């Protein structure tokens, strides 16, 4: 494992608790000979040297994210060209990506500084947005979503996999996600939960008109194309739930696995399945318990 000499910090804004934690963590790290850096606004607030985010991320060996899964997504977007390990610390409840609870921060950091940590590599998707006036390129950790505005009717999205026609979805929208994103919007839309290390691409229609239009999982080397056919409807392409772009009839979204990846530091305190049980409220504790002494299994 590479020696950690400097730590970068990303934080959810407007969280006074996070600022307090950053100050304390900075002192704790410096006592152990490790430098700290943060985004300019945060650095100014805690009294650190202010440098642009682009410069900050070039000079760190690890990133600590204080916030929630949305803050991890923002950090991953900033770090897309630098696969430094990310430690996600949730200020609040546990997250699917921010697996470390606040009270576990320092035990986790101690283990990391000793080199005792494991990396969970998460695949990214490259998204090409082809439209009449040009092309834009993005990289996402969770998903690319084509969805209609609140008052729009169902939209038609012609979908291909590796150049072969899959179907034309008549739906509220379409989600193209990574396994990491399978527990985000994909899950709300009835898509499958996919274990993060199973590299694949998930295609999930949102409220399809035809009930036989079901989610489908395709190989990681597949290229998925989705073309908007509907006119006069309000439609947007949303990337990781944080970037939104208007779409018009004829615009096409092309999605494939990125050559880059995000390196998340795995929690030493709980497994992925424990995070699932906690976040989704799965009631495993009732299984096998008897009711009223009659030998009946609780259901």
pLDDT of residue 112: 95
Distance between CA 36 and CA 259 in Å, rounded?
29
pLDDT of residue 14: 67
pLDDT digits (tens, 9 = 90+) for 159-175: 999 999 999 999 999 99
Residue 184 DSSP SS3: coil
| Tokens coding 136 | 């834009």
Entry field: residues in the chain: 299
The answer to whether 90 and 102 are in contact (CB under 8 A) is yes
What is the pLDDT tens value at each position of the chain, 299 positions in all? 778 999 999 997 666 788 889 999 999 999 999 999 998 888 888 888 888 888 888 989 999 999 889 999 999 988 877 889 999 999 876 789 998 999 999 999 999 999 999 999 999 999 999 999 999 999 999 999 999 988 888 999 999 999 999 999 999 999 999 999 999 999 999 999 999 999 999 999 999 999 899 999 999 999 999 999 999 889 999 999 999 999 999 999 999 999 999 999 999 999 999 999 988 998 765 444 444 444 333 33
The answer to whether 277 and 271 are in contact (CB under 8 A) is no
* 59-82: b (≥16 Cβ within 10 Å) or e: ebbbbbbbbbbbbbbbbbbbbbee
Distance between CA 214 and CA 169 in Å, rounded?
10
Distance between CA 71 and CA 86 in Å, rounded?
11
Active site residue 69: yes
For the chain, which domains are there? 6-118+266-286 (3.40.50.10330), 124-259 (2.60.200.30)
Distance between CA 36 and CA 62 in Å, rounded?
10
pLDDT of residue 290: 42
Residue 218 DSSP SS3: strand
Phi, psi angle pair for 275, to nearest 5°? -60, -45
Q: What is the C-alpha radius of gyration for the chain, rounded to an integer number of angstroms?
A: 21
pTM listed for this prediction: 0.89
Q: What is the Cβ-side half-sphere exposure of residue 111, based on CA atoms within 13 angstroms?
A: 15
pLDDT of residue 285: 53
Collect all residues with Cβ–Cβ distance below 8 Å to 124 and sequence separation of at least 6.
Answer: 76, 80, 139, 140, 141, 178, 257, 258, 260, 261, 262
pLDDT of residue 179: 98
pLDDT of residue 92: 73
**DSSP summary character for residue 50:** P
């Amino acid at each position: 494992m590479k020696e950690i000499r400097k730590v970068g910090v990303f934080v959810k804004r407007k969280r006074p608790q996070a600022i307090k934690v950053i100050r304390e963590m900075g002192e704790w790290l410096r006592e152990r000979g490790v430098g700290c850096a943060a985004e300019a606004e945060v650095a100014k607030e805690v009294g650190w040297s202010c440098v642009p985010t682009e410069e900050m991320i070039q000079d760190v060996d690890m990133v600590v994210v204080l916030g929630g899964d949305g803050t991890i997504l923002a950090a991953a977007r900033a770090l897309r060209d630098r696969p430094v390990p990310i430690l996600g610390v949730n200020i609040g409840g546990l997250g699917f990506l921010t697996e470390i609870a606040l009270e576990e921060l320092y035990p986790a950091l101690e283990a990391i500084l000793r080199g005792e940590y494991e990396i969970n590599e998460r695949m990214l998707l490259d998204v090409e947005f082809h439209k009449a006036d040009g092309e834009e390129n993005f990289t996402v950790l969770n998903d690319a979503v084509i969805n209609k505005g609140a008052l729009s009717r169902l939209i038609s999205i012609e979908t291909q996999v590796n150049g072969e026609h899959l179907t034309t979805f008549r739906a509220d929208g379409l989600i193209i996600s990574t396994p990491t994103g399978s527990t985000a919007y994909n899950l709300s839309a009835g898509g499958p939960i996919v274990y993060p290390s199973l590299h694949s691409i998930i295609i999930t229609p949102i409220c399809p008109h035809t009930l036989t239009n079901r989610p489908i999982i395709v190989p990681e080397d597949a290229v998925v194309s989705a073309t908007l056919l509907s006119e006069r409807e309000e439609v947007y392409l949303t990337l990781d739930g944080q970037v939104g772009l208007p779409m018009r009839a004829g615009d096409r979204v092309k999605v494939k696995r990125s050559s880059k990846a995000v390196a998340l530091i795995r929690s030493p305190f709980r497994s992925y399945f424990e995070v699932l049980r906690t976040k989704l409220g799965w009631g495993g504790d009732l299984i096998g318990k008897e009711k009223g002494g009659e030998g009946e299994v609780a259901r």
